[in-house]
Amino acid sequence: MVSSPRRRQSGLDQPRKRGVSIRDAYNPERFGQVSEKVARYIGSWAFIAWMTAVVVTWVLWNTVGPVDLRPDFFPFIFLTLLLSLQASYAAPLILLAQNRQTDRERIQYQEDRQRTERLLADSDYLARELASIRLALGEVATRDYMRGELRDLVEDLTARMDAIEAERRSRGEDRPT
């Protein structure tokens, strides 16, 4: 017979498990998620409406209902007990949810801070690079500068050629070489 891989035979060298351990069943992340859902519901208008409806129904039944079917008479001790019990469970769940939200906000703040530091470092780097490019461009001849220099050179050459031509004419050499 082939045994399934999940089922192991316990030997004498292993202690027997008795029941389910609370440590094995407790998952803080899952418990936190449930507490956030409960806190979110307790903070909703739907919860306030349902709680108001239950309390009003409770009070009306215990004041107007048949006397032999009233579980809680005028001071409404049992209603007070139920509301206190609900508050005693709601408060820690809300605090746990707030702590988890604070932890998330702290992590988000740290990530935002790191992102901001990276952006500042990148912008500083880009500013330095831009400054170095501007300095390098200050030493490079621009198109307008080159045109001006070439224009001046052409004017000088034209003036020299005109001067040579005028000097030749004055000597009587009419033919160009």
pLDDT tens figures, 85-139: 989 988 888 888 888 889 999 999 999 999 999 999 999 999 999 999 888 877 7
Measured CA distances, 24 to 35, 102, 135, 165 (Å) = 19, 27, 67, 109
Cα separation, 153 vs 160, in Å, equals 10
Which phi and psi angles does 174 have, rounded to 5°?
-90, -20
Of 177 and 133, the one with more pLDDT: 133
Q: Where are the alpha helices (DSSP H) in the chain?
A: 22-25, 28-42, 45-64, 77-138, 143-171
- Residue 59, exposed/middle/buried by CB under 10 A (0-12, 13-18, 19+)? middle
Report the chain's mean pLDDT, rounded to a whole number.
83
Q: Phi then psi for 27, rounded to 5 degrees? A: -125, 110
pLDDT of the residue at 63: 85
Average of per-residue pLDDT across 73-90:
86
